[in-house]
Structure 1
Amino acid sequence: MARQTLSLRRRWRKRLRVYGTGVSRYVGNHPFFAGMAGTLVAVSMAGLTLLTLSTGRADALDHARDTSQNLVAIISTDLERNVEIYDLSLQAMVDGARNQAARTLPAGVQRAVMFDRATTAAYLGGAYVIGRDGQVIASQSGEVNAAVRLADRDYFLAHQRSPAVGLYFSHPFRSRLRDGKLSIGLTRRIDRTDGTFAGVALLAIRIEYFQHLLDRIDTGRLGSVFVVMDDGTLLARKPLSSRDIGSSIAKSPTFQVMAAHNAGTYAAISAVDGVRRMYTYARVPGTPLIAVVAPAVDEVLAPWWRRSRIVGGLTLTFGVVFVMVSWLLSFALRDKLRAQAALVRLAATDPLTGLSNRRVLDNRLDEEWRRARRTGQPLSALFIDIDHFKQFNDTYGHASGDEALSAVAECIAATVRRAVDVVARYGGEEFAVILPDTPAEGALNVAEKIRRKVQSQDVIRSDGAIVAVTVSVGCATCVPAEGANALDLLAAADRQLYAAKAAGRNRVSSATWAERPMTQHSSM
């Protein structure tokens, strides 16, 4: 078992080495892959960062919404509980006012029966029983001002008109019984035994109660929290603006959304100060009140923005550096490939003429020989020699000799233009050409074109004088057979070159060869 595990590990290590070598070779052969891969990685990192930041933003807003919902629930619960207590007191006042026996009791006892302890709560402005003509007939404090009439109040008129009003919330008013203190009234109708209107039981709630409730809520410097009636009448607001209490926001787009639903959350720009806030609201059960908590969106997102700037800045910095390093690596690999290609070209190119050198000639000849033997196609070779080149060098100098070599090389390269053909400098003033899939007639035609082109080419010496140069060409063609050697083809072309020189130079000599020359041609 241990041997099998060890063998498995070795096989995986070998696969990983092969895979790693393949990747390295691919990157090495494609230098810009590193730059593109680095850029893709940086963009992916930036995308993931943006996705994370976007998720963080949504989480911050969700947290603020949950917190606002909890605060709205606290406000709503407090209001609902106190209204229930106040309503019980109102019902006790109504029952006491309707009790005929209570009217015969002493004033102190009568007040104790009619007004319970709830009517002494801190934010209650007073408890009153108002007669059918609007005059106060009893109060929790025992003080009654006979000159005060309340028949014009909205709560009095509402109960006077309809016995089905139930618990009524008035709009804010300036109290005529308490030196103009701002209050709202919670009232219930008092009926006679025959059901006719007998008056109103009133609990005056000081507006400070609502403001005190909101002062405990922290919504930030730009946030807002307020209590509003379902018709748009503002009862309390934080931050406090006394001139806003009792005003109507019914036409505000933000309120119109609240009026259409029982609860919800939405973001909108305030028409009052232009601050974008996230409004969370809910109706207080059993009342016409709506509790609203509205933190400013910018303050909610401020911690997220701070984190985002740091994370975004670091991601951008590292991403830019990573991309720059990747592309610097790509350019370095590109330069390395270019240098390697230049070295390969130098190793395969004759520096004077720009033609292939002897090593390239030997390799390509061997390849074309094997291919011709597989396909049965003819293979031709040309040997080209500049006539009287030693004498040319001795007479005009080596600089002119180099010019002559370059001129002849250009003529050969301009004539032999197929991609499969090989043109090489064999050595000294000798050149060789390999012509795959070319019969003897074609090789002879190419050789003659080269000879004529060189003959028509004038060589300009370094001193400006013009000198004519000619070449002799030997051609050999064969269909490679088993047992034969590619060098034999070159040897046959070399023999034809010497035959052309022996015949007077500036001419072409050709032979079709198998194991020995079969036919021989000469042209000039």
Structure 2
Amino acid sequence: MARQTLSLRRRLRKRLRAAGAGVTRYVGNHPLVAGVAGTLIAVAMAGLTLLTLGTGRADALDHARQTSQNLVAIISGDLARNVEIYDLSLQAMVDGARDNVAATLPADVRRAVLFDRATTAAYLGGAYLIGPKGEVIASQNDDVNDAVRLADRDYFLVHQRSPTVGLYFSHPFRSRLRDGKLSVGLTRRIDDASGAFAGVALLAIRIEYFQHLLDRIDTGQLGSVFIVMDDGTLLARKPFVPRDIGSSMAKSPTFERMSAHTAGTYVARSSMDGVRRMYTYARVPGTPLIAAVAPSVDEVLAPWWHRSRIAGAMTLAFGAVFVTVSWLLAFALRDKLRAQAALLRLAATDPLTGLGNRRVLDNRLDEEWRRAQRSGQPLSVLFIDVDHFKHFNDAYGHASGDEALITVAECISAAVRRSVDVVARYGGEEFAVVLPDTAAEGALSVAEKIRRKVQGRDVVQSDGAPVTVTVSVGCATCVPAMGESAHDLLAAADRQLYAAKAGGRNRTCSAQWAAASVAQDSSA
């Protein structure tokens, strides 16, 4: 079992090495892939960073929403609990006012019966019994002012008009009993024995209670937290602006959304100061109040923006460096490939004539031989030699000899036009041409075309006198068979070249070779 595991690991390592080598070879052969891959990786990194930053932004907003919901729940809970306590005190006051026995008690005892300890709570402006004409008939602190009438107050009129109102939460008012202090009244109706209106029980809550409740909440420099009645009357706000207390925000777009639902969260721009805030609100159970917390979106996202700028700058910097290095590597690989290709061209090209050299000839001849074997098509070879070239060099110099070779190479290239044909300098003044899929007649036609082109060209000497050169061409054609080789075909063409030279030069000799023997010879 251990040997099998070890063998499996070795095979896996070999495959991984082979895969890595394959990738390396592919990148080496396609250098721009490195640059494109590096760019795509950098873009992917940037996209991942943007996705992460987007998720972070959503998390920051979600955290602010949850925090605001918790704060709203705290404010709402405090308000609901105190209103419930105050309502119990009001109900006790109503019951005491309807008790005929309590009316016969001494004043101090009657106050103790009517007003419990809850009416002495902090921020409670006072507890009062108000008669059917709006007069104050009893007070928690025995500070009854007979001249004060409260029959015009909304909390009095609403109970006077309807016996089914229950607990009523008044709008803010300036107290006539406490030197104009701003208060909110909680009231309940008092009926006499016959059910007729007999006055109201009033608990005056100082407006500072609501403001004190909000002062403990931190929503940042641009944030806001406020308590508003369901008709849009503002009771408290932070930041505190005295003139705003008691004003109506019923027409504000932000309030319109609050009044339509029990609770919720939304983002909007304030019509008062233009700050974009996240409003989280909820109605206070058992009251006409709405508590809202609205931190500034910019302040909520400030830490996220700070992190995003750092992450964005680092991603941009690293991405730019990565892309730059990738493209530098790509260009370096491209230059290396170009240099290698140039070296290969130099290694495969005759420097004088620009034709393929002997190595190219041998490789391509072997390839075409095998292909002709598979296809059963004829393969032709031309062997070309410049006539009396040694004498030409001796008479006109090596520079003219080189010019003559270049001229002959140009004539051969002009006559051999197919991309599959191979033209090469065999050595010295000898050239060779490989003609795939070409029969003897076609090869002889190409050979004659070459011979005539060379004969029609002049080599200009240093003294300006033109000199004509000629070539002899040997042709061989065969359909490759088993047991033969490409060198046999080349040797047959060479023999025809010598036959052309022996026949007087400046001519072409051809042999159609089959079954390892020359089947037909001809000359032109």
TM-score for the superposition, normalised by structure 2: 0.97
SS at match of 1:279: strand
Q: What residue number does 2:384 align with? A: 384
Structure 1 pair 324–462 and aligned structure 2 pair: CA distance change class (3 A): farther
Q: Residue by residue, what CA displacement relative to the aligned partner does 1:267-287 show, whole Å, maximum 9, x if unpaired?
A: 111111111111111101000
Q: What residue number does 2:86 align with? A: 86
Q: What residue number does 1:517 align with? A: 518
- Deviation at residue 247 of structure 1 after TM alignment: 0.4
Q: What residue number does 2:447 align with? A: 447
- Asked if the contact 1:128/1:136 (under 8 Å) is kept, the reply is yes
Comparing 377-386 with 146-155, which one deviates more in the overlay?
Answer: 377-386
Matched, 1:218 2:218: yes
SS at match of 1:203: strand
Structure 1 pair 413–189 and aligned structure 2 pair: CA distance change class (3 A): same
Q: What residue number does 1:372 align with? A: 372
- Deviation at residue 17 of structure 1 after TM alignment: 2.1
Q: Report the Cα distance in structure 1 between the residues aligned to 2:108 and 2:114, rounded to whole angstroms.
A: 10
Q: What residue number does 1:22 align with? A: 22
Q: Residue by residue, what CA displacement relative to the aligned partner does 1:92-129 show, whole Å, maximum 9, x if unpaired?
A: 11122222222222221121111111111120111111
Q: What residue number does 1:352 align with? A: 352
Q: Report the Cα distance in structure 1 between the residues aligned to 2:410 and 2:234, rounded to whole angstroms.
A: 99
Q: Report the Cα distance in structure 2 between the residues aligned to 1:438 and 1:86, rounded to whole angstroms.
A: 115
SS at match of 1:264: strand
Q: Report the Cα distance in structure 1 between the residues aligned to 2:297 and 2:417, rounded to whole angstroms.
A: 75
- Deviation at residue 212 of structure 1 after TM alignment: 0.2
Q: What residue number does 1:202 align with? A: 202
Matched, 1:301 2:308: no
- Deviation at residue 258 of structure 1 after TM alignment: 0.6
Q: Residue by residue, what CA displacement relative to the aligned partner does 1:444-501 show, whole Å, maximum 9, x if unpaired?
A: 1000111111222233345554332222211122233333332232222222222222
Q: What residue number does 2:484 align with? A: 484
Q: Report the Cα distance in structure 2 between the residues aligned to 1:141 and 1:461, rounded to whole angstroms.
A: 138
Matched, 1:252 2:252: yes
Q: Residue by residue, what CA displacement relative to the aligned partner does 1:67-101 show, whole Å, maximum 9, x if unpaired?
A: 11111111011101111111111111112222222
- Asked if the contact 1:460/1:467 (under 8 Å) is kept, the reply is yes
Q: Report the Cα distance in structure 2 between the residues aligned to 1:510 and 1:100, rounded to whole angstroms.
A: 149
SS at match of 2:474: strand
Q: Report the Cα distance in structure 2 between the residues aligned to 1:5 and 1:480, rounded to whole angstroms.
A: 52
SS at match of 2:482: coil
**AA in 1 matched with 2:110:** Q
Q: What residue number does 1:4 align with? A: 4
**AA in 1 matched with 2:60:** A
- Asked if the contact 1:399/1:462 (under 8 Å) is kept, the reply is no
Matched, 1:40 2:63: no
- Deviation at residue 516 of structure 1 after TM alignment: 4.1
Q: What residue number does 2:184 align with? A: 184
Q: Report the Cα distance in structure 2 between the residues aligned to 1:168 and 1:267, rounded to whole angstroms.
A: 32
**AA in 2 matched with 1:277:** R
**AA in 2 matched with 1:415:** A
**AA in 2 matched with 1:179:** D
SS at match of 2:235: strand
SS at match of 1:251: coil
SS at match of 2:157: helix
Where do residues 459-498 of structure 1 align in structure 2 (5 Å cutoff)?
Answer: 459-461=459-461, 464-498=464-498
Comparing 96-105 with 255-264, which one deviates more in the overlay?
Answer: 96-105
Structure 1 pair 395–186 and aligned structure 2 pair: CA distance change class (3 A): same
Q: What residue number does 1:264 align with? A: 264
- Deviation at residue 32 of structure 1 after TM alignment: 1.5
Structure 1 pair 477–263 and aligned structure 2 pair: CA distance change class (3 A): same
Q: Report the Cα distance in structure 1 between the residues aligned to 2:477 and 2:254, rounded to whole angstroms.
A: 98
SS at match of 1:362: helix
- Deviation at residue 60 of structure 1 after TM alignment: 1.0
Q: What residue number does 2:126 align with? A: 126
- Deviation at residue 155 of structure 1 after TM alignment: 0.8
Root-mean-square deviation (CA, aligned residues, Å) is 1.5
Q: Report the Cα distance in structure 2 between the residues aligned to 1:215 and 1:116, rounded to whole angstroms.
A: 28
SS at match of 2:500: helix
Q: Report the Cα distance in structure 1 between the residues aligned to 2:307 and 2:464, rounded to whole angstroms.
A: 78
Q: Report the Cα distance in structure 1 between the residues aligned to 2:186 and 2:63, rounded to whole angstroms.
A: 36
**AA in 1 matched with 2:523:** S
SS at match of 2:258: helix
Structure 1 pair 132–407 and aligned structure 2 pair: CA distance change class (3 A): same
Structure 1 pair 482–262 and aligned structure 2 pair: CA distance change class (3 A): closer
SS at match of 2:472: strand
Gaps of 5+ in 1: none
Q: Report the Cα distance in structure 1 between the residues aligned to 2:463 and 2:138, rounded to whole angstroms.
A: 138
Q: Residue by residue, what CA displacement relative to the aligned partner does 1:44-65 show, whole Å, maximum 9, x if unpaired?
A: 2212211111111111111111
Matched, 1:77 2:57: no
Structure 1 pair 470–189 and aligned structure 2 pair: CA distance change class (3 A): same
Q: What residue number does 1:175 align with? A: 175
**AA in 1 matched with 2:442:** G
Q: Report the Cα distance in structure 2 between the residues aligned to 1:498 and 1:518, rounded to whole angstroms.
A: 18
Q: What residue number does 1:331 align with? A: 331
Q: Report the Cα distance in structure 1 between the residues aligned to 2:485 and 2:16, rounded to whole angstroms.
A: 43
Q: Report the Cα distance in structure 2 between the residues aligned to 1:464 and 1:164, rounded to whole angstroms.
A: 132
SS at match of 2:319: helix
- Deviation at residue 6 of structure 1 after TM alignment: 2.1
Q: Report the Cα distance in structure 1 between the residues aligned to 2:156 and 2:436, rounded to whole angstroms.
A: 119
- Asked if the contact 1:283/1:290 (under 8 Å) is kept, the reply is yes
Comparing 510-519 with 193-202, which one deviates more in the overlay?
Answer: 510-519
- Deviation at residue 289 of structure 1 after TM alignment: 0.3
Q: What residue number does 1:58 align with? A: 58
Q: What residue number does 1:112 align with? A: 112
SS at match of 2:134: coil
Structure 1 pair 481–201 and aligned structure 2 pair: CA distance change class (3 A): closer
Q: What residue number does 1:276 align with? A: 276
Where do residues 410-449 of structure 1 align in structure 2 (5 Å cutoff)?
Answer: 410-449=410-449
**AA in 2 matched with 1:59:** D
- Deviation at residue 211 of structure 1 after TM alignment: 0.1
The sequence identity of aligned pairs, in percent, is 81
- Asked if the contact 1:357/1:425 (under 8 Å) is kept, the reply is yes
Q: Residue by residue, what CA displacement relative to the aligned partner does 1:193-240 show, whole Å, maximum 9, x if unpaired?
A: 111111111111110000000000111111100000000000000000
